[in-house]
């Protein structure tokens, strides 16, 4: 396992720091004097690197490019507002308990970065290692889980098998009676997993990247990728042409559209993934519980809302909304496993467009077009990887070759056949 390097430490560039003291100071003038967290610059004619997509992954990439690799002229172009896509639509679950070595390496890399990220970015990400419990609902699933736990522990990642009685102790609201249609047979638990405030991740990276001189250009849609002699020369946008010899594309569900602009095709299908929250209530669950077999996961936000995540809708879509049967299915499972939620009202439902890959693993890759890089295919589980993804993608863009963690995630794996099949770990609740 590679130990992440923390980029920003001791490298402050003059932005006033957020702290308890600044909070107290600003209280004196009724919080009217807070500075802008990031600028709203006009696009420059040329940059050293352009990142398409202002979600968590894109902003993290820009931040690490500027802070670790010394590439100062970096722009992030975002067609609407930053963090408004899947970064603001996921259920904020973070974990690294994946089966295969390649996955363990990248997700654990991310988790280690998460552990120091609020301090590094000087932004409270509300990162909470409240633990992630995954349930097994059949004898077979329990056996498979035990095997998985062993593999995960061999990679040095914390993971424990739990009995139904232990689960009941950890999650008192759960029904573990054997009469359920899908009874709880056990589960496995990663204590270092948990949640973070998803918007804060985008804002924290944006603020820190801006501090390093990165231009964050919102309301600027990329309409074309210009190339000459097999190399990228820049991007056409709704705010004019931006010249750059390096372009990193981090656009999740819209990656196929970006690839088509460059004359490439990807093994990605775009599907809606839905989630919902209940009305806020007093704390009833202080961990995250996932269940792949019944397509449901649950946690409680700091505001008190129960956050439920579903499986993907069956059909391809770019509409950022899904169908009701998926929500119905999710709520049926929720009510059976947690009878206490039956009389809660659903407050909001929404969908994001996820970029699903045939092997449920991401693509972090160079392309046949020199200087054009793709980071996509995170499917239903990209949020947890945000820092690690940005960290290795920045390295790929800066060095023009993948590092040891990113190397297995090339586009070529679909030709060579060395897929990283994580359907088991991910499938639904990723």
Partner 1 sequence: MLLIECPWCGPRDEAEFAYGGEAHIARPTEPDKLSDAEWAEYLFLASNPRGTYLERWRHAHGCRRWFNAVRDTYTHEIIEIYAMGSLPKSKLGIQAYEDSWRRGSAAEQNAKRGSAKS
187 closest CA partner among 212, 168, 213, 206: 168
Binding residue for partner 1, selected from 237, 270, 287, 375, defined by CB under 8 A: 270
- Selected from 234, 256, 377, 382, the binder of partner 1 by CB under 8 A is 256
Beta bridge partners, 297, equal: 290, 309
Asked if residue 18 binds partner 1 (CB under 8 A), the reply is no
404 vs 384: CA distance, rounded Å = 20
Place of tokens 């998985």: 148
Site residues for partner 1, 349-408, by CB under 8 A, read: 358
164 binds partner 1 (CB under 8 A): no
Which one among 167, 201, 266, 363 touches partner 1, defined by CB under 8 A? 266
If the CB atoms of residues 159 and 312 are measured against partner 1, the closer one turns out to be 312
Nearest-approach distance from CB 317 to partner 1, in angstroms: 5
**Among 75-83, 259-267, 293-301, 340-348, which window interacts with partner 1 (CB under 8 A)?**
259-267
Kindly state whether residue 268 participates in binding partner 1, applying the rule CB under 8 A.
yes
Going by C-alpha positions, the residue among 180, 392, 388 that lies closest to residue 291 is 180
Considering only 143, 325, 399, 401, the residue that binds partner 1 (CB under 8 A) is 325
CB nearer to partner 1: pick between 314 and 347: 314
Q: Is 316 in the site for partner 1 (CB under 8 A)?
A: yes
Q: Is 414 in the site for partner 1 (CB under 8 A)?
A: yes
24 binding partner 1? (CB under 8 A): no
- State which H helix or E strand residue 249 sits in: strand 247-249
Q: Which pair of structure tokens corresponds to residue 6?
A: 């923390």
Question: Among 155-163, 254-262, 278-286, 422-430, which window interacts with partner 1 (CB under 8 A)?
Answer: 254-262
Instruction: Check binding of 165 to partner 1 (CB under 8 A).
Output: no
Among 1, 165, 180, 314, which residue sits at the site for partner 1 (rule: CB under 8 A)? 314
Residue 404: partners with Cβ closer than 8 Å, 6 or more residues away: 2, 105
Q: Per CB under 8 A, does 257 bind partner 1?
A: yes
- Six token digits for residue 151: 């593999």
- 228 versus 324: smaller Cβ distance to partner 1: 324
245 near partner 1 (CB under 8 A): no
Distance in angstroms (rounded) separating the CA atoms of residues 23 and 13: 20
Residue 383 has phi, psi (to 5 degrees) of -55, -45
3-state secondary structure at position 256: helix
Residue 92 Ramachandran class (φ > 0 left, ψ -120 to 50 alpha, else beta): left
Of these, 23, 150, 315, 400, which contacts partner 1 (CB under 8 A)? 315
Least distance CB 355 / partner 1 (angstroms): 9
Q: What's CA 180's distance to the chain center, in Å?
A: 33
Task: Give the DSSP per-residue string, 118-175.
Answer: HHHHTS----B---EEEEE-SHHHHHHHHHHHHHHHHTT---EEE-HHHHHHH-TT--
**List of residues contacting partner 1 (CB under 8 A):** 254, 256-257, 265-270, 314-319, 323-325, 358, 414-417
């Amino acid at each position: 396992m590679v130990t992440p390097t923390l980029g920003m430490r001791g490298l402050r560039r003059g932005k006033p720091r957020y702290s308890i003291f600044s909070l107290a100071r600003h209280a004196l003038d009724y919080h009217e004097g807070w500075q802008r967290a990031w600028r709203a610059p006009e696009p420059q004619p040329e940059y050293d690197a352009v990142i398409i997509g202002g979600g968590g992954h894109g902003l993290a990439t820009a931040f690490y490019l500027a802070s670790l690799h010394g590439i100062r002229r970096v722009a992030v172009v975002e067609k609407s507002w930053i963090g408004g896509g899947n970064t603001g639509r996921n259920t904020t679950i973070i974990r690294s308990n994946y089966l295969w070595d390649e996955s363990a390496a990248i997700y654990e890399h991310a988790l280690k970065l998460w552990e120091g990220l609020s301090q590094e970015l000087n932004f409270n990400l509300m990162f909470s290692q409240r633990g992630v419990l995954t349930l097994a609902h059949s004898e077979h699933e329990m056996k498979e889980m035990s095997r998985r736990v062993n593999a995960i522990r061999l990679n040095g990642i914390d993971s424990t098998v739990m009995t139904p009685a232990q689960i009941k102790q950890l999650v008192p609201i759960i029904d573990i009676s054997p009469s359920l249609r899908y009874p709880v047979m056990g589960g496995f638990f990663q204590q270092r997993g948990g949640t973070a405030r998803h918007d804060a991740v985008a804002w924290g990276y944006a603020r820190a990247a801006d501090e390093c001189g990165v231009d964050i250009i919102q309301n600027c849609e990329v309409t074309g990728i210009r190339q000459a002699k097999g190399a990228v020369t820049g991007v056409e946008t709704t705010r004019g042409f931006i010249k750059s010899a390096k372009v990193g594309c981090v656009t999740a569900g819209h990656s196929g559209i970006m690839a088509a602009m460059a004359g490439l095709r990807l093994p990605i299908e775009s599907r809606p993934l839905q989630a919902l929250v209940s009305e806020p209530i007093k704390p009833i669950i202080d961990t995250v519980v996932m269940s792949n077999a019944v397509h449901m996961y649950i946690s409680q936000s700091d505001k008190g809302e129960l956050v439920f995540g579903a499986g993907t809708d069956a059909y391809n879509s770019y509409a950022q909304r899904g169908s009701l049967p998926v929500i119905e299915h999710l709520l049926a499972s929720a009510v059976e496993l947690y009878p206490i939620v039956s009389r809660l009202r659903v407050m909001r439902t929404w969908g994001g467009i996820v970029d699903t890959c045939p092997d449920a693993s991401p693509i972090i890759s160079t392309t046949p077009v020199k200087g054009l890089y793709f980071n996509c295919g995170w499917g239903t589980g990209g949020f947890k990887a945000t820092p690690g993804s940005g960290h290795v993608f920045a390295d790929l863009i800066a060095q023009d070759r993948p590092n040891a963690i990113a190397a297995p995630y090339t586009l070529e794996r679909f030709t060579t056949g060395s897929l990283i099949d994580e359907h088991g770990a991910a499938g639904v609740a990723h």
